[in-house]
Copies of this chain bind each other. A is one copy, B any other.
Amino acid sequence: MEPYLNLVNGQPAETLPLADRGLLYGDGVFRTLRVQAGRALWWAEQYAKLADDCARLSISCPAQALFEADLTALPREDGVVRLTVTRGVGLRGYALPEKVSVTRIVQRSPLPPGLDRADVDFLHWCNIRLAIQPALAGVKHLNRLEHVIARSEWTSFEHGEGLLLDMDERVISGISSNLFMVRGQSLLTPRLDRCGVAGVASARLMARAPRLGMEVIEGDFFMADLAEAEAILFSNSVRGLRWASMHGMRPEPLSFQRLHACLWGD
């Protein structure tokens, strides 16, 4: 029997009801994660983050075991899986349905190209600025028009990334990645309590860098801080850790390898 590619509430499906609030209002959250040898990478952290994001929107997150059952129904080849939870089918209007029955979606896609490269060789400075919205900051929700617009500003380069600033010109992140600056033994990363998406790869790196004797500093950073950084790194759950290689920049190779190992290690 061919393993299913997409599941909705545990059942093979290629479509979603038109009245789902995920479509009507972007009323839901998602995660994109890597599957290797039939195993969802960083699964405990991925599920915990999904549950946290659901909680931020007062959506009841489906049990971890339900997603785990879904994942076992997928092909075992390496790939990318997107998990989505929406507030389910609703009546017309913003008001929450009296009885919410959330929708659980699992979508599988192949690995993207370029995973063999550990550098970002083109950086687009996005024109659009991220809006300041503490109520949604850090959450990977379905309201992603700012990111869509940012990504539409430049034509595809396989190893490129877009750099996002907020309305106050603070550096926030890449379009699909979190951002770190190396300065001596410090790893600087923008705080994400006003805008941006807090990634699982980023959380892993922040939790583990101190093992390498590095101090992680979350704060407000600007263009000048980027310019002063010894190296700029991007983290993402599918691509792992990448370093900016424009203008001859590069991290000290050993320190990059150690950070990379630290991210991927158990």
Query: Does A143 reach chain B (CB closer than 8 Å)?
Result: yes
Closest residue of chain B to A175 (Cβ to Cβ) is: B94
Query: Does A17 reach chain B (CB closer than 8 Å)?
Result: yes
Within 8 A of B (CB), among A1-59: 6, 8, 13-27, 32, 57-58
Copies of this chain:
2
Flag if A17 contacts B18 (CB, 8 Å). no
Give which listed residue, B107, B131, B144, B148, contacts A18 with CB less than 8 A: B107
Query: Does A109 reach chain B (CB closer than 8 Å)?
Result: yes
Interface size class of A (residues with CB under 8 A): 35 or more
**B-chain residues with CB within 8 Å of residue A96 when the two chains form the complex:** 148, 151-152
**B-chain residues with CB within 8 Å of residue A57 when the two chains form the complex:** 145, 148-149
Identify 17 residue pairs between A and B in the complex whose beta-carbon atoms are under 8 Å apart, listed by A's number.
A8-B18, A14-B18, A21-B148, A23-B84, A23-B142, A24-B142, A24-B144, A57-B148, A82-B92, A92-B109, A93-B151, A95-B151, A128-B135, A131-B136, A133-B167, A135-B149, A136-B145
Q: Known pairs A24-B142, A94-B148; list 10 more (Cβ under 8 Å).
A: A8-B18, A14-B18, A15-B15, A18-B107, A25-B148, A58-B152, A92-B107, A96-B148, A96-B151, A141-B145
Query: Smallest Cβ distance from A102 to chain B, in angstroms?
Result: 14
- Please judge, given known A-B contacts A18-B107, A26-B26, whether A112 and B93 are in contact too, CB under 8 Å: yes
**B-chain residues with CB within 8 Å of residue A26 when the two chains form the complex:** 25-26, 142-145
